[in-house]
Amino acid sequence: MVKIFFENYVRMFMMRLSAPVTPSLSCDMQNVSDIYMRGIDFIAIDFETATGRRASICEAGICVVRDGRIAETRSWLVRPQGNVYSYWNTQIHGIRPDDTEMSPDFPEVWTEISEYLRACPVLVAHNAAFDISCIRSSLELYGLDKPDVTYYCSLRAARKLYDFRCNTLDYLCGQFGIPYGRHHRAGDDAEMCARLFLREIKDSGSPELEEMVFCNGKL
C-alpha cells in the first residue's frame, strides 16, 4: 500500500515538472512595456545656480536614457564665475563657495556634456524654461557655440496629461512612487526627471518622442 502511494506521488511530481510554464500577466505586461519604450533615447538634465543669474551654474547633472531605460547618471560641481553665492540659493541646494573653489568652470563641464549630446541631441528637464535658459546664458557668457538640440519639458507634459493640484518634481515623483534622491541636487533631480518623463511618455500613448509636441522646443 505504501509502495503504491509512493509511486503515485512520484508520478504526479514528475508530471508537474514536465508541465509547460505559462508566463504571468505581469511578465507579459513588462515585455510589452519594454517593446513600447524601445528607441526612446534622451538626456534628462538639471542645474543648480549660485545666484539669481542663470549663468551662475554651480552644479550640473544628467541622466542618460537609452531604449527607455536609465543607462547612466552623472553630476559635476561647477565653479561659477567669481565663485560668488547668494545666501538664498545656498539655502535651497546646500552648495557653498568652498565646495566649488577647485571645481571646473562651465566650459570644461559643458565639453563633457556635449559628448553625450553628440550621441543623443535630445534634452529633458522639469521646468525646462529654467534649465534651458541656464544653458543659453552660460553659452553666451563664455562665448560658446549653441548646439542643435531639441528639448522636452516634463513640467509642461504633467500639466497637459494630469490634473494634480501641484506639479513640482518631488510632488509628481511622490504620486507615481518614483524614488527620491536628494532634491535640489542636480544628479538626483535629473534622474527623478528622467523617470517621471518615462512615465509621462507611457501615459501620453505616444510611441515616438516627436509626437509630444505639446512640451518640446529647440535650444
Q: In what order do the strands lie in the sheet with 216-218?
A: 69-77, 57-66, 42-49, 122-125, 150-153, 216-218
Q: How far apart are CA 11 and CA 113, in angstroms?
A: 63
Dihedral Cα 47, 53, 56, 60, nearest 10 deg: 0
With cell 545656480, the residue in question is 49
Q: How far apart are CA 150 and CA 127, in angstroms?
A: 15
pTM of the full structure = 0.84
Residue 36's pLDDT is: 60
Residue 22 gets which letter from DSSP? P
With cell 494634480, the residue in question is 164
Residue 180's pLDDT is: 84
The tens-digit pLDDT sequence of the chain (219 residues) is: 434 434 444 444 344 334 333 333 333 334 445 556 788 999 999 999 999 999 999 999 999 999 999 999 999 999 999 999 999 999 999 999 999 999 999 999 999 999 999 999 999 999 999 999 999 999 999 999 999 999 999 999 999 999 999 999 999 999 999 998 888 899 999 999 999 999 999 999 987 888 899 999 999
Residue 49's pLDDT is: 98
With cell 501620453, the residue in question is 204
Residue 34's pLDDT is: 59
Q: How far apart are CA 203 and CA 211, in angstroms?
A: 13
Fold of the domain built from segment(s) 40-218: Nucleotidyltransferase; domain 5 (3.30.420)
